[in-house]
Structure 1
Amino acid sequence: MAMGRRRRDSALVPAVGAVRQRLRATHQPGDRPIRHLLRRRHAFRRRPQFRKLGRQVNALPAPGRLGIAVVLTAAAAIVYELLIGTLSTYLNGDSALQFSLTIGTFLAAMGTGAFAAREVGDDPLPRLLRIEIAVALLGGFSGLLLYAANGLAPGGYLACMVALVAAIGHLVGMELPMLAELLRRAGGWRNAFASALSLDYFGSLIGSLAFPFVLLPTFGAVKTALLTGIVNLAAVWLLSPRAVRPDLRGSRRIALVALALLIAGVVGAHRIVSGFEELLYRDQVLHAETTRFQRIVVTRFRDDLRLYSDRELQFSSRDEYRYHEALTHPLLAAVRHPEQVLIVGGGDGLAVREVLKDARVRGVTVVDIDPRMTALAREFGPIVALNRGALSDPRVRVANADGYRFLLHDARTYDAVVLDLPDPRTEAIARLYSREFYARLLSRLRPDGVLVTQASSPYFTREAFWSIDATLRAAGLRTQPYRIYVPSFGEWGFVMASRRPIDWAALRLPLPRRWLTRAILDDAATFDADTAATADAPVSTFESPAVWRLYRRRVRYWKD
């Protein structure tokens, strides 16, 4: 009994400051001084009006529980924002557009939500619980909703995404004013609104760190959304006061139903996502995972094995040898002694497979930012069979790092450099097509060394192709552009570069190959009217990534 009494008494202590004015209003002549009553907690139990005030205090969550709820709701909100931007980039590309729309719409919607919550009323708690449940359901199922929108109405995806972000943002914007008001009424927090803001910012930091380092690589986008919805329901539990309040029973029951739906979603997420992705790719999905850097999907249709990164085709086993032979064999033919070879990108091991055919090669360094990609190339049977176990060869060293940062810290020099990179579809990737990056590469290239880069399509992205050529020349290199036809990609281009002019006609191809011939090489160095060099091709730099702008413009042109 004594312990139970102490617990009840301690629940009243944070409320002392909040009820001081009511005590003054109920103070009668002849009563003992108010400060004496505030010091003696048993006085609350002796007077009926104090017992009523105690019940009102117990009808609010404890201040500590309120503070934790603010942190959890803020963390969940930033996770939804990051997740929608990331998933939209995966489904439709153009990360700058997707994140700009997501962040701008979310912040604007938070403003409308905060405006709508400016009048919190006498008891904001029931309304706040309903808002949290709505956020848990909308945010929790946001991943599946975006997949469905992309599959069922691809032309209206952006409109659906913006509507979803606006709805979640509006609800999130209503949370903070209500939580701040509850903190003020519960007491125990000095300057409740400032405390609410500081807790909110701290929760945002937690969410922004957890998303890329823990949630996304561990659970994937859809499960992350569902688990974050459960976090919102945990906030509902924290916001529920210990005292029995009949007006909150309905919200608690709805929260239990929402929890059951989210748990069911977590259990069935893998199957549901696999179904959506098979609709997207129209082939059997052999492997799919979301890493810190990309969404990797491997599909098969009959004898055609395909690898996708963020829905962009990286290779098809039916014709990948055309691309990789054209990328590596002319380079090896142009280098007198290719003992040390650097490959930036190429985590699938297919370029490595071709380089290792040359007995003169003593060491190959593969730099790929995504450790999951190189692990897949080492361990996933269908890809290992295709690259012939290249990444397990004792001559191969793998470094999982950003290409530019690797060159900043790597003191080795190389005879040949292969840039087997994704297209410059984002500003981050465009850094690896910049004058600064090529200048850094030049410092690691031996005097007679040669480098080659894939350079996208000289037909579909003509301006971007010639911008890459111009950027290499601006870095102090002599260039030799060339192009081939790859059925899966169409017309595709490369640029070879070195300090000295390259004698294209003198190149010989002694290594075993399936497709590339001397006649194909002769034709590869010629460009017709549709692919010829453009006038005044801009140089791409860190500050002004021209190649990214040109590439994006042409991709939009062909999509429209």
Structure 2
Amino acid sequence: MQEKKFSYRRLMFTTFVISGCSMVYELLISSVSSYLLGDSILQFSITIGLYMCAMGLGSYLSKFIKTQLFDWFIFVEISVGILGGTSSILLFLANVYLESYSLVMYSEIVLIGTLVGLEIPLLTRIIEENAGNLRITLSSIFSFDYIGGLAGSIAFPLLLLPQLGYFSTAFLVGAMNLGISLFILYSYRRYIGRTALWKIIIYISGAGMILGMLFSENLASGIEQGLYRDKVIYSEQTPYQKLVLTKHKDDVRLYINGNIQFSSMDEYRYHEVLVHVPMSAAKKREKVLILGGGDGLAVREVLKYKEVQQIDLVDLDAGVTELCRSHKDIKKLNEGSLDRAKLKIYNEDAYEFLENNAGKALYDVILVDMPDPNSETVNKLYTDLFYRLCSRNLSDEGVMAVQSTSPYYAGDAFWCIHETVKQEMPFVYPYHVQVPSFGDWGFQLASKTEIQIENLTLQQEGKFLTQDNLQGIFLFGEDERSKKELEVNSLSSPKLLQYYLEAEKNWE
């Protein structure tokens, strides 16, 4: 009786661990696919749906396993450990070297899901045979299964991914599955027929997982190099996103989640029109708010105005601001702007900052320099409600500029942002500039009072932007104008995300 109770507890622990591992694999495949392909809603939906279906298939197949349950369970755990442990690296390799990334992704989901679907039915039958009482067995095993799933879903975003990254997380969790198979092997060896063979496979596979963890940075560096044109000189997974810095001769480029943020060769074009147009249109320039712009390049341009007394920079990711404050190549590019006395950095959500600051202090100029709206998270920062909060934080004579994607490559998205800003600001003036590393890139100039664009005098000329070409940035070619009625982007109806993702597919 005592041995049955002890065996029962050890198998409950097993259930808890393998359930957590299963959840991490599901989240890993979804996250890697979102990082490589974009459209996180689609990737998570496909992964979850297909994974659940494959688990159902595995549960169905379990009925054909009638004997040697422990041997089968060890086989399943070894297989899950190997497939899950190598899942991230195989997806990255597929993206770099194969055209059929989706085939590899779907194959991983189906294989891992099917094997995971075998786990609980096998454990249930093992526990029933050793402990008896089907009612208690089912209630206990599903309780530990659900709790383990919760543990995995919490550990992945808060601990595993930020601290270990995609590769080490997969190898670690794969090693955990292999560890469980070894734990079962030693705990129930009298029920198992091929102990010597299983030990050899487990030890060899486990050694592979450990080596993978130890050399994950080298593997990541080698594979990531295939994702980028230039040499990767810095790579970091922050709690929020993947940062990669590349360099080729004098060209330094920053990528966030695979999307280029700037090239040192032409970033001045982007930042000159983002900053100097609204700064020239504003009647006062004492207090400036920059939302996003953690690279410090917009701050560099704002600091050219002597009348500026205060600059507040709000960027969620401290990893970005610290990288751009300390890395010698970026610090040289932004001229050490992130260390200036006039600047105060807030590493918090821009949406929450605006909510908390509303009514406390008004700004003369607000610069919205957010990443493109390629996910539901960033889409929130392009909604009518977000621009309403911007308006509440802007003085009556203040001016705002909004980064708005490309009017040529993502025309519907650009004009959707235009219409959304118009919902909250009485006067909105679209403009754009050609940035070689980006293409044709657009902005919105918005204010509560009318701006005489044709009489606008540039207060600060740059390498690109001068008084002579100022009027030209407000002119659009016929192929860049909106051809249809576009809906306003809101929290409840993220139309902008839909327009942006459609544009991405059209230009693939």
Instruction: Calculate the TM-score normalised by the size of structure 1.
Output: 0.87
Please give the alpha-carbon distance, in whole angstroms, between the structure 1 residues aligned to 2:154 and 2:378: 22
Please give the alpha-carbon distance, in whole angstroms, between the structure 1 residues aligned to 2:321 and 2:241: 13
**Which amino acid is the alignment partner of residue 452 of structure 1?**
A
Is 1:402 aligned to 2:346, yes or no? no
TM-fit CA distance, 1:241: 4.3
1:550 to 495, 499, 506: 499
Map residues 226-245 of structure 1 onto 2, 5 A cutoff: 226-242=171-187, 244-245=189-190
Map residues 279-318 of structure 1 onto 2, 5 A cutoff: 279-318=226-265
Is 1:418 aligned to 2:362, yes or no? no
Is 1:516 aligned to 2:461, yes or no? no
Is 1:169 aligned to 2:113, yes or no? yes
- Equivalent residue for 2:386? 437
Is 1:255 aligned to 2:199, yes or no? no
Residue aligned with 2:63, SS: coil
TM-fit CA distance, 1:119: 4.6
Residue aligned with 2:478, SS: coil
Residue aligned with 2:477, SS: coil
Please say if residues 458 and 531 of structure 1, whose CA atoms lie closer than 8 Å, have aligned partners that are also in contact: yes
Map residues 381-396 of structure 1 onto 2, 5 A cutoff: 381-396=328-343
- Equivalent residue for 2:153? 208
**Which amino acid is the alignment partner of residue 465 of structure 1?**
F
- Equivalent residue for 1:137? 82
Residue aligned with 1:118, SS: helix
- Equivalent residue for 2:126? 182
Please give the alpha-carbon distance, in whole angstroms, between the structure 2 residues aligned to 1:128 and 1:502: 72
Q: Say if 1:138 and 1:244 are closer, same or farther in 2 by CA, change over 3 A.
A: closer
Q: Could you tell me the percent identity over the aligned residues? A: 37
Map residues 118-133 of structure 1 onto 2, 5 A cutoff: 118-133=63-78
Please give the alpha-carbon distance, in whole angstroms, between the structure 2 residues aligned to 1:68 and 1:215: 20
2:218 to 249, 265, 271: 271
TM-fit CA distance, 1:175: 0.6
Please give the alpha-carbon distance, in whole angstroms, between the structure 2 residues aligned to 1:117 and 1:240: 20
Gaps of 5+ in 1: 1-11, 17-60
**Which amino acid is the alignment partner of residue 113 of structure 1?**
G
Is 1:446 aligned to 2:403, yes or no? no
- Equivalent residue for 1:21? none
Residue aligned with 1:62, SS: helix
- Equivalent residue for 2:481? 532
Please say if residues 79 and 211 of structure 1, whose CA atoms lie closer than 8 Å, have aligned partners that are also in contact: yes
Please say if residues 424 and 430 of structure 1, whose CA atoms lie closer than 8 Å, have aligned partners that are also in contact: yes
Map residues 464-503 of structure 1 onto 2, 5 A cutoff: 464-503=413-452
- Equivalent residue for 1:29? none
TM-fit CA distance, 1:535: 3.5
Q: Say if 1:451 and 1:257 are closer, same or farther in 2 by CA, change over 3 A.
A: same
Instruction: Calculate the TM-score normalised by the size of structure 2.
Output: 0.96
Please say if residues 24 and 156 of structure 2, whose CA atoms lie closer than 8 Å, have aligned partners that are also in contact: yes
Please say if residues 461 and 467 of structure 2, whose CA atoms lie closer than 8 Å, have aligned partners that are also in contact: no
- Equivalent residue for 1:91? 36
TM-fit CA distance, 1:120: 4.5
**Structure index of larger Rg:** 1
Please say if residues 416 and 489 of structure 2, whose CA atoms lie closer than 8 Å, have aligned partners that are also in contact: yes
1:320 to 249, 261, 267: 267
Please say if residues 14 and 188 of structure 1, whose CA atoms lie closer than 8 Å, have aligned partners that are also in contact: no
- Equivalent residue for 1:20? none
- Equivalent residue for 1:24? none
Is 1:15 aligned to 2:35, yes or no? no
- Equivalent residue for 1:53? none
**Which amino acid is the alignment partner of residue 147 of structure 2?**
F
1:197 to 142, 148, 166: 142
- Equivalent residue for 1:362? 309
CA shift digits 1:424-464 (9 cap, x unpaired): 11122111111111111111111111111011111111111
**Which amino acid is the alignment partner of residue 106 of structure 1?**
Y
Higher mean C-alpha displacement, 468-477 vs 492-501: 468-477
Please give the alpha-carbon distance, in whole angstroms, between the structure 2 residues aligned to 1:349 and 1:289: 18
Q: Say if 1:239 and 1:412 are closer, same or farther in 2 by CA, change over 3 A.
A: farther
Please give the alpha-carbon distance, in whole angstroms, between the structure 2 residues aligned to 1:116 and 1:150: 31
Is 1:346 aligned to 2:335, yes or no? no
- Equivalent residue for 1:55? none
CA shift digits 1:130-167 (9 cap, x unpaired): 110111110001111011111111x2101110111111
TM-fit CA distance, 1:220: 0.7
Residue aligned with 2:482, SS: coil
Q: Say if 1:537 and 1:122 are closer, same or farther in 2 by CA, change over 3 A.
A: closer
Please give the alpha-carbon distance, in whole angstroms, between the structure 1 residues aligned to 2:188 and 2:265: 68
Q: Say if 1:501 and 1:537 are closer, same or farther in 2 by CA, change over 3 A.
A: farther
**Which amino acid is the alignment partner of residue 451 of structure 2?**
I
Please give the alpha-carbon distance, in whole angstroms, between the structure 1 residues aligned to 2:170 and 2:152: 12
Please give the alpha-carbon distance, in whole angstroms, between the structure 2 residues aligned to 1:170 and 1:164: 10
Please say if residues 466 and 534 of structure 1, whose CA atoms lie closer than 8 Å, have aligned partners that are also in contact: no
- Equivalent residue for 2:320? 373
Q: Say if 1:72 and 1:97 are closer, same or farther in 2 by CA, change over 3 A.
A: same
Please say if residues 279 and 459 of structure 2, whose CA atoms lie closer than 8 Å, have aligned partners that are also in contact: no
Please say if residues 478 and 499 of structure 1, whose CA atoms lie closer than 8 Å, have aligned partners that are also in contact: yes
CA RMSD of superposed structures (Å): 1.6
Please give the alpha-carbon distance, in whole angstroms, between the structure 2 residues aligned to 1:180 and 1:308: 47
| Equivalences, count | 503
Please say if residues 479 and 497 of structure 1, whose CA atoms lie closer than 8 Å, have aligned partners that are also in contact: yes
- Equivalent residue for 1:64? 9
**Which amino acid is the alignment partner of residue 420 of structure 1?**
D
**Which amino acid is the alignment partner of residue 558 of structure 1?**
W
Please give the alpha-carbon distance, in whole angstroms, between the structure 2 residues aligned to 1:187 and 1:240: 18
Please give the alpha-carbon distance, in whole angstroms, between the structure 2 residues aligned to 1:71 and 1:388: 52
CA shift digits 1:492-522 (9 cap, x unpaired): 1100101111121232223352221122211
CA shift digits 1:250-292 (9 cap, x unpaired): 2122111110111111122211221111111121101111222
Gaps of 5+ in 2: none
Q: Say if 1:460 and 1:242 are closer, same or farther in 2 by CA, change over 3 A.
A: closer
TM-fit CA distance, 1:122: 4.1
**Which amino acid is the alignment partner of residue 479 of structure 2?**
D
Please give the alpha-carbon distance, in whole angstroms, between the structure 2 residues aligned to 1:244 and 1:234: 15
TM-fit CA distance, 1:184: 2.4
Please give the alpha-carbon distance, in whole angstroms, between the structure 2 residues aligned to 1:452 and 1:476: 11
Residue aligned with 1:180, SS: helix
- Equivalent residue for 1:110? 55
